[in-house]
């Protein structure tokens, strides 16, 4: 049963109030405690404590008072004029004891406030969803309901390194996605966060990358084959044609590089209507480029698993991890591009996918200011987000930073309609202040959240204001799937 803790003070509105705590209750009520306000104007209101304050009128500072004099002389002034307050942010009015709606009635001063204890379950007022995520802060039995229909409005998980993003994803988000009927493809950038925990893993160099993406990659390592980006690029075109014409995959790197090089050379030499000195220049650029496109580079693209096979595999296994631990960044981006291009094509053909794509280390793919291959991956993620809302593709992006240099590309971030925000980086304080202003969550709180604690906000959250959640990890739980 909820226990009385205090009454509402003067100045309450329909969305915000202050509770004056009964004597001793300051030891029981904590930041983020959930409370029930029995509004004397009618209705029961669910609210959360955010930001408390201890006040003692004899100890006011700013001018010299007898109390200050007492303190100065190491004596303890009277605590008779001492009391404690908590700000209350309203979640909503409880309707028929089963749901909440926006509270529209002014909360009457002197209304009684009660705190829920472990045995109550105020989460029932947020809806009786089959699907839940983690539990309310400090209350392992209060599972947080989620709104399934917004899963494909995409999810962002933010927090500094070590805040628990990958754990939250592994222990809570992926199982939730499975329950909601999604097959899950995980891009495991580091190869250590997911690969060891799921049965089905593919190392990314086994995956076939389409010729267009290979050309983008070669362009990125050769300064665009010696051409300006907007300029017509006959060398790139020749190499691309060569990649298409010769059967270079599934061979050893030496042979396949040679095949492509020779074919590109002959394409340039036999081009009709091109002046000899222009051809010589093009051949020089081809040779210079192939100094960068070494056998080692070719080695990266000899994979033969087609993107459709990946989709077939995830359909069969439910969860598939792409282990990207070995190899260089642009190669990883190339593999990613190859896979998501295929998903995009399926959606453009109006196929409903019911697939979730987990992208850990999001800024590697879509940073604040994308360069080179990142531009391609950023654009395609934005396209996937838009198509995904109609065709059942959910994108889950993890990032250490929210905004600015350490953050995720802002156009991508705008598409992540549900967010989990853990401990933030000091560089994100400005971003945190925006949250603070809207929801009374102080930037200090966000800067000091313990690992495994996240504010849950956005479309999937049935509560209109963010809720602080956590989750239990079970070290014996090895194979999640």
Ligand X SMILES: Nc1ncnc2c1ncn2[C@@H]1O[C@H](COP(=O)(O)OP(=O)(O)OP(=O)(O)O)[C@@H](O)[C@H]1O
State the binding partner of 163 from Mg ion, ligand X, none, CB within 5 to 8 A by kind: ligand X
Binders in 391-430 for ligand X, by CB under 6 A: 400
Stretch touching ligand X by CB under 6 A, among 159-167, 271-279, 370-378, 412-420: 159-167
Q: What is the dihedral of CA 251, 255, 257, 263, to 10 degrees?
A: -110
- With CB under 6 A as the contact rule, the residue among 15, 39, 163, 463 that binds ligand X is 163
- Residue 162 interacting partner from Mg ion, ligand X, none (CB closer than 5 to 8 Å by kind): ligand X
107 or 168: whose CB is closer to ligand X? 168
Q: Which of 283, 427, 473, 481 binds ligand X (CB under 6 A)?
A: 473
Binding mask 353-382 for ligand X (x = CB under 6 A): ------------------------------
Structure-token pair, residue 419? 């967010």
Task: Measure Cα distances from 150 to 147, 177, 367, 393, 428 in Å.
Answer: 6, 11, 25, 11, 26
Give least dist CB 174 to ligand X, A.
Answer: 13
Closer residue to ligand X in complex, CB, 6/159:
159
Q: Which is nearer to ligand X, 159 or 307 (CB)?
A: 159
Tell me which of ligand X, Mg ion, none is bound by residue 400, counting a contact when its beta carbon lies within the kind-specific cut-off of 5 to 8 angstroms: ligand X
Binding site for Mg ion (CB under 5 A): 166
Task: Classify 135 as helix, strand or coil.
Answer: strand
Residue among 152, 99, 177 nearest 464 (CA): 99
Q: Determine, following the binding rule CB under 6 A, whether residue 165 of this chain makes contact with ligand X.
A: yes
Strand partners, 399: 158
Beta carbon of residue 479, minimum distance to ligand X (angstroms, whole number): 18
Q: Does the footprint of ligand X cover residue 162 (CB under 6 A)?
A: yes
Backbone angles phi, psi at 398, to 5 degrees: -105, 140
User: Can residue 161 be called a binding residue for ligand X (CB under 6 A)?
Assistant: yes
Closer CB to ligand X, 229 or 474, in the complex: 474
Query: Between 190 and 315, whose beta carbon lies closer to ligand X?
Result: 190
For residues 94 and 44, the answer to whether their CB atoms sit within 8 Å is yes
> Exposure of 374 by Cβ count < 10 A (0-12 exposed, 13-18 middle, 19+ buried)?
buried
Would you say 264 and 239 are in contact if contact means Cβ atoms under 8 Å apart? yes
Exactly one of 164, 307, 363, 401 binds ligand X (CB under 6 A); that residue is 164
What is the 3-state composition of the chain as percent helix, strand, coil, each rounded to the nearest 5? 40, 25, 35
Interface positions with ligand X (CB under 6 A): 159, 161-167, 400, 451-452, 470-471, 473
């Amino acid at each position: 049963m909820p226990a009385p803790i205090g009454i509402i003070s003067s100045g309450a509105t329909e969305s915000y109030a202050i509770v004056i705590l009964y004597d001793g209750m300051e030891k029981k009520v904590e930041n983020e405690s959930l409370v029930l306000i029995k509004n004397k104007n009618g209705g029961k209101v669910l609210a959360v404590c955010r930001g408390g304050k201890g006040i003692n009128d004899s100890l006011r500072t700013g001018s010299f008072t007898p109390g200050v004099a007492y303190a100065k002389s190491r004596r303890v002034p009277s605590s008779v004029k001492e009391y404690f307050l908590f700000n209350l942010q309203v979640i909503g009015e409880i309707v028929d004891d089963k749901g909440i709606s926006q509270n529209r009635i002014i909360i009457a001063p002197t209304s009684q406030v009660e705190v829920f204890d472990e045995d109550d379950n105020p989460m029932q007022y947020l809806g009786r969803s089959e699907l839940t995520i983690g539990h309310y802060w400090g209350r392992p039995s209060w599972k947080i309901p989620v709104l399934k229909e917004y899963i494909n409005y995409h999810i962002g998980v933010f927090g500094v390194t070590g805040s628990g993003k990958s754990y939250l994803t592994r222990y809570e988000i992926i199982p939730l996605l499975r329950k909601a009927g999604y097959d899950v493809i995980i891009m495991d950038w580091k190869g250590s966060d997911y690969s060891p925990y799921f049965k089905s893993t593919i190392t990314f160099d086994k995956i076939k990358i389409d010729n267009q993406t290979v050309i983008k990659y070669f362009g990125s390592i050769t300064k665009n084959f010696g051409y300006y980006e907007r300029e017509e690029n006959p060398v790139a075109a020749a190499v691309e044609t060569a990649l298409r014409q010769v059967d270079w995959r599934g061979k050893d790197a030496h042979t396949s590089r040679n095949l492509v090089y020779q074919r590109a050379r002959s394409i340039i030499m036999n081009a009709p209507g091109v002046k000899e000195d222009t051809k010589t220049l093009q051949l020089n650029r081809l040779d210079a480029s192939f100094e960068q496109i070494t056998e080692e580079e070719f080695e990266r693209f000899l994979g033969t698993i087609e993107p459709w096979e990946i989709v077939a595999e995830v359909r069969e296994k439910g969860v598939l991890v792409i282990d990207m631990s070995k190899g260089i960044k642009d190669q990883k981006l190339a593999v990613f591009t190859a896979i998501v291009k295929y998903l995009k094509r399926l959606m453009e053909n109006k196929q409903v996918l019911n697939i979730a794509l987990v992208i850990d280390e999001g800024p590697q793919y879509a940073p604040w200011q994308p360069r080179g291959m990142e531009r391609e991956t950023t654009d395609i993620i934005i396209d996937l987000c838009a198509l995904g809302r109609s065709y059942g593709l959910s994108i889950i992006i993890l990032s250490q930073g929210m905004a600015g240099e350490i953050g995720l590309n802002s156009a991508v971030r705008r598409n992540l309609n549900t967010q989990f925000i853990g401990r933030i980086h000091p560089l994100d304080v400005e971003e945190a202040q925006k949250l603070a202003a809207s929801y009374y969550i102080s930037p200090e709180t966000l800067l000091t959240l313990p690992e495994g604690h996240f504010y849950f906000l956005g479309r999937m959250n049935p509560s209109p204001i963010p809720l602080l959640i956590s989750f239990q990890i079970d070290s014996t739980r090895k194979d999640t799937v």
